[in-house]
Amino acid sequence: MRELLLCKAVPPRWGTAYAALLAEGGLRDEGRADITTLLTEGGILLGCGSLGGKVIRQVAVSPNAEGQDICARIVSALVQESVKRGVLYPFLFTKPQNARLFRSLGFYPVAETADMVMLCRQRDALARFLAPLPRWQEGVIGCVVCHANPFTRGHLHLIATASAQCDHMLVFVVAEEGGPFPAADRLALVREGTAHLPNVTVCSGGDFIVSRSTFPAYFLRDEQSEDARCDLDLTLFARHIAPALHIARRFVGEEPFSPTTAAYNRRMKEILPTYGVSVTEIPRLENISATAVRRLLAEGRLADIQPLVPETTYAYCQRHFGGRPPRP
């Protein structure tokens, strides 16, 4: 008799079979699952899948069980679990050759590269994200994407410098949660910190302007994963978001300290211009970074962050962390 198990962690008795099933399918466990589904029969693992945040991942079916609707049962169970957790329209990432299977299970493609496809349970999810965003029909429209975790004078320098080169400037604040500054607060701090710049509009990045690090790459080799994430992120922006919002220029801050971000910026300069979007790299203000601000706060050195952040960010930190360091 077949049994569908839902577990927060793979039970030890199934650990070896689970790892083998993933490996057999060319997958690996990225360790980001909130819940995992195992479909078993007579002590044999027939299929598995996981849900992490808004993403269904690591769906695998034993070759001996293909054609038996195992994948459909697993995905259906994970979609139901996602809905229970308040995520009505989960995402799924897979290899292009597997996209047809997941489309047959009710997922719709959002963006695709040679290595990855991003799908969503909602047909018009991207259109719904774009619908309320501002659209200007004239002038040069630029864009900055930032985490602002928290908003620093470095971010302000980038946005102010970029906005001076455009008629309209869209700033997207990444909406992923994580760290001591909630997404809603980060968005508010960027809006407050740029309120004096009349041509700047600050918006949430929602589900589509996200950190490439959250794109799962469990179906790619380690050496492929970072490039594949970059390409999908940039293709989504260049092929779908930029033309819808008439964005002609994207601005990034110079990154001398992070090789990963520097590589991302280089890839951006290669991909975006092929879609008609120019990329401008702005020299950063020395010794100012959100990482440094978080480190000083963690050390309880609130006063030392004042030269690094706008007054609005400093006032926020005084209110929230004045007597204690933030949680990491």
**Span 36-53, pLDDT tens digits:** 999 999 999 999 999 999
Same domain, yes or no: 138 and 108: no
**Which of 123, 155, 176 is the C-terminal boundary of a domain?**
123
Summarize the confidence of residues 23-42 as an average pLDDT. 91
What is the structure's pLDDT at 215?
A: 72
Residue 258 pLDDT > 90: no
Q: What is the pLDDT of residue 324?
A: 62
Name 194's Cβ contacts closer than 8 Å, sequence gap at least 6.
156, 159, 160, 171, 200, 202
Is residue 19 included in any domain, yes or no?
yes
- 304 and 156, same domain (yes or no): yes
* Residue 326 covered by a domain: no
**Percent of the chain topping pLDDT 90:** 78
Long-range contacts of 267-273 (CB under 8 A, 24+ apart): 267/227, 267/230, 267/231, 267/234, 268/230, 268/234, 271/231, 271/234, 271/235, 271/238, 272/234, 272/237, 272/238, 272/242
Q: Which has the closest alpha carbon to 71: 104, 35, 116?
A: 104
pLDDT tens digit string along 159-193? 999 999 999 999 999 998 888 999 999 999 999 99
Domain boundary among 96, 123, 150: 123
327 part of a folded domain: no
Same domain, 289 and 140: yes
**29 and 115: one domain?**
yes
pTM of the model: 0.91
Is residue 165 domain-shared with residue 102, that is, in the same domain? no
- In this prediction, residues 55-77 reach a mean pLDDT of 90
End position of a domain, from candidates 92, 123, 154: 123
- Contacts of residue 111, defined as CB under 8 A and 6 or more positions apart, other chains included, come to 117, 118, 232, 235, 236, 239, 240
Give residue 229's pLDDT band: very low, low, confident or very high (50, 70, 90).
confident
pLDDT of 118 reads: 94
What per-residue string of b and e applies to 281-302 under the rule 16 or more CB within 10 Å gives b?
Answer: bbebbeebbbeebbebbeeeeb
Do 183 and 119 lie in a common domain? no
Q: In terms of domains, do 175 and 301 share one?
A: yes
Q: What is the CATH number of the domain that holds 289?
A: 3.40.50.620
Among the ranges given (62-66, 103-107, 300-304), the one the predictor scored with the smallest mean pLDDT = 62-66
Q: Is the pLDDT of residue 224 over 70?
A: no
Q: How high is the pLDDT of residue 149?
A: 94
Q: Are residues 142 and 83 in the same domain?
A: no
> Are 105 and 153 found together in one domain?
no
According to the model, what pLDDT value does residue 212 have?
A: 59
pLDDT score, position 66? 76
Which pLDDT value is given to residue 199?
98
Contact yes or no for 49/78 (Cβ under 8 A): yes
Q: What is the mean pLDDT of the chain?
A: 92
Verify that 164 and 247 share a domain, yes or no: yes
Domain that holds residue 137: 129-321
Look at residue 135 in the predicted model and tell me its pLDDT. Answer: 95
Q: Is the pLDDT of residue 295 over 80?
A: yes
Region 247-273: what's the mean pLDDT? 90
Residue 65 reports pLDDT greater than 90: no
Work out the pLDDT band at 214, boundaries 50, 70, 90: low
Residues 149 and 185 in one domain: yes
Both 51 and 136 in one domain: the answer is: no
- Count up the domains in the chain and report the number: 2
| SS3 letters across the chain | CEEEEEECCCCHHHHHHHHHHHHHCCCCCCCCCCEEEEEEECCEEEEEEEEECCEEEEEEECHHHCCCCHHHHHHHHHHHHHHHCCCCCCEEEECHHHHHHHHCCCCEEEEECCCCEEEECCCCHHHHHHCCCCCCCCCCEEEEEECCCCCCHHHHHHHHHHHCCCCEEEEEECCCCCCCCCHHHHHHHHHHHCCCCCCEEEEECCCCCCCHHHCCCCCCCHHHHHHHHHHHHHHHHHHHHHHHHCCCEEEEECCCCCHHHHHHHHHHHHHHHHHCCEEEEECCCCCCCHHHHHHHHHCCCHHHHHHHCCHHHHHHHHHHHCCCCCCC
Residue 313: the pLDDT is 98
Burial profile 213-233: b = 16 or more Cβ within 10 angstroms, e = fewer: ebbbbbbbeeeebbbbbbbbb
Question: CATH number, domain at 108?
Answer: 3.40.630.30
CA atoms within 13 A on the CB side of 160: 14
Higher pLDDT, 327 or 253: 253
Query: In this predicted structure, which of 120-124, 144-148, 262-266 has the lowest mean pLDDT?
Result: 262-266
pLDDT at residue 325 in the model: 58
How many C-beta atoms surround the C-beta of residue 152 within 10 A?
25
Query: What's the average model confidence in pLDDT over 116-131?
Result: 95
